[in-house]
Structures are given as structure tokens and as C-alpha cells.
Amino acid sequence: MHGAAVAEKQMFLQHHQSQPYDRSMWDLNRLRMWRAVVSTGSVTDAARNLQYSPASVSQQIIALQQALGFPLYRRVGRGIEITEAGRRFAQETDDLFDESARLTDVVDALRSGPRGHVSIGCSSSVAREWIPDVLREAVVRFPHLRYDVMTNEPSSGADRHRADVDVVSEPGHTEPTAKGGGSTDHLIDDTYLLVLPAQHPLSEHSVVSVGQLADEPLLDPDVQGSATGDVIEHATRAAGFSPRYAARADDHYGILAMVSAGIGLAALPRLAVAGLPSDLTSRPLTDPTPHRRIMLHVDRRVAHLPHVEFLRAAFIRTAAAE
């Protein structure tokens, strides 16, 4: 312990009488208040977030400090400054709150049976554009369920687990993939757009042919294997050239940031292009027009469940609105 910290603790002990802390009787509400104070750096802000009065929060953290026997904070003007020990103590309560949440789930399960969950696999663009609409009513209709939304791209690999409800992308130039063990719905054909800086010369065109990209540095949105990579490779081969990639990334948000930085241009599905930054624009691609097929697969083992039937209908309805 540094000299300043030792002196600070000695001064605190001179003015406060502390009793050995009963570690079997942690007051979670008091600890929650302290965690909020550390997070916000302010008693007033913590009280507002927790919907308590500042006086109540102040009273509780004073009591906590006295019980612990070491300074959690020091007064600085009209505010406080968290001590190193106070910050460390708040961090060390993480496991306690995780365990508290786990025990709450156990109690809920003992009262009403285990809480069910349903897994949904989709790309990040589907998660952003469709999942909010799909789940908005689902969580009201089936509040006892937990909805686990998992990214399913890259679409292959030993660690790829099929979700109960799986929204997958397939190259549009191939035949639809027949998948056993459940139902399959064709949701939409998602065409690709060229994303480029708003001041790029190609932005003057209302439509860009794939062949016009032959001499442009491109960004590859396919590092580990996905339908997007196959779609772009097929389109460039059809236009008579091999793409010249300046950089690669599986995440289309990273791709968009690199386009903004002037690193290259990118061909991305329309769903991934919604809400572009103001410095970027998009143009339809043609000759050929790249597209992916978005399919919905539902595991036959859960297809009969009411909440899964609801999710299937919600995905079909949301896709039809595109």
C-alpha cells in the first residue's frame, strides 16, 4: 500500500469507530448504491439512476464505509472522489451480483418451473433491421421466455450450432439449399449495393456496373466464409475480373468505417446499408446484379411450439414489409 493510502486510512480510523464486518450478511441494496456511485462518480447522479434521494444514498454509503473500516471516498468541494480502495471494492462485488442473479433465476424456476428460452440465429444486419420488430410483440406474448439472438455468420465451422429459428443467407446465383429436420421459408432476395464515399467519381452514376469496379480497391466482407463472399466472387467473375481487395473484415460495420476512411469501396447487401453515415452513399449494382437469398429454417423439434410458430410468422411478416 502506498504511503498516501496508509496515511489516508489511518486518518479515517482516527475519526470512525468500525466493528468487524459480518461478511455473511452483505446488504445487496447498499452495495448496489455504492456500485452506482462508483459508476457515475456522483452521489446525486447515482441517486437519480436508482430513483432514491441523494440523502438516502449518502446515508447508505456512509454506513457501508463505517462498517468496512476503510475509506471508500473523500470529499472534494461539493462532490466526492472515489479512493483506489473504494473502486477496487466495487469491482470485487461483480461475482456477488452475478451469483445473486443466478439465485434469483433458481428461485423463479422453483416457483414456476424452469424458464424456457429460444435461440435465434441471424446475420448482424438482420439483427439490426428485423429482430426489434420480431421480438417487440413476442416478449409481450411470451414474457416467460428468454430470446437468445446469435450471429450465424460465418455460416460454417466446427463451432457453428444451428439455432431453433435460423435466418440464413445463401448466394442468390445458386439453387436453394435443401435442409432436413425442419421447415424452410424463402424470406427475400436481398440485392447488393455499392457503398462509396459521397465525393467518389462513381457516385455521379445512378447505377454502377460490376465491371466498373475492376480497377477500384475493394473491401472484402468475407474473412471466414459467408454467402456474401460467394456472391461478390461470382459477380466479379461474371464481369470478367478478379477483385483487388485492399482489406477484409467479417463485420460490415468495420467495412463501412473503412469506406469512410477512403481505404476502398464495398458491395454490401441492402439490409446492411440502411442508415449510412452522411459521408457515404450507395448505388445499385448491375451487369450482373448480385443478390443473396435470405431463408428461414425452423428446427422440427420445436416447430410445433406456439412461441416458435409466432416467431416464424413474425419473420415472414417483417420480411414482406421490406
Least confidently predicted of 7-16, 86-95, 105-114, 284-293: 7-16
What does pLDDT average to over the chain? Answer: 85
DSSP H helices in the chain: 3-15, 28-40, 43-50, 54-68, 84-92, 94-112, 124-129, 131-141, 227-238, 252-260, 270-273, 306-320
- Amino acid in the structure at residue 269: P
Section 25-45 average pLDDT: 89
pLDDT score recorded for residue 157: 45
Backbone angles phi, psi at 289, to 5 degrees: -95, 105
pLDDT at 203 over 90: yes
pLDDT at 112 over 60: no
pLDDT score recorded for residue 159: 45
pLDDT tens sequence across 206-258:
999 999 999 999 998 875 666 777 888 899 999 999 999 999 887 888 899 99
Cis check for the bond before 288: say yes or no (omega within 30 of 0): yes
pLDDT band at 144 (very low <50, low <70, confident <90, very high): confident
pLDDT score recorded for residue 322: 80
pLDDT score recorded for residue 55: 92
Helix (H) / strand (E) containing 196:
strand 182-197
Section 193-205 average pLDDT: 95
pLDDT band at 2 (very low <50, low <70, confident <90, very high): low
Domain 117-322: give its CATH architecture: 3-Layer(aba) Sandwich (3.40)
pLDDT score recorded for residue 174: 84
pLDDT at 9 over 70: no
Q: Where are the domains of the chain?
A: 3-98, 117-322
pLDDT score recorded for residue 214: 94
Residue by residue, DSSP assigns 60-116 as: HHHHHHHHHTS-SEEEETTEEEE-HHHHHHHHHTHHHHHHHHHHHHHHHHHHH-PPP
pLDDT score recorded for residue 86: 92
pLDDT tens sequence across 147-183:
999 987 655 444 446 789 999 988 988 887 766 667 8
pLDDT score recorded for residue 1: 47
pLDDT score recorded for residue 107: 74
Could you tell me what percent of the chain has a pLDDT over 90?
56
Query: CATH assignment of 3-98?
Result: 1.10.10.10
pTM of the model: 0.64
Residue with the bigger pLDDT between 322 and 37: it is: 37
pLDDT at 6 over 90: no
Section 286-304 average pLDDT: 92
Contact criterion met (CB below 8 Å) for 283 and 208: yes
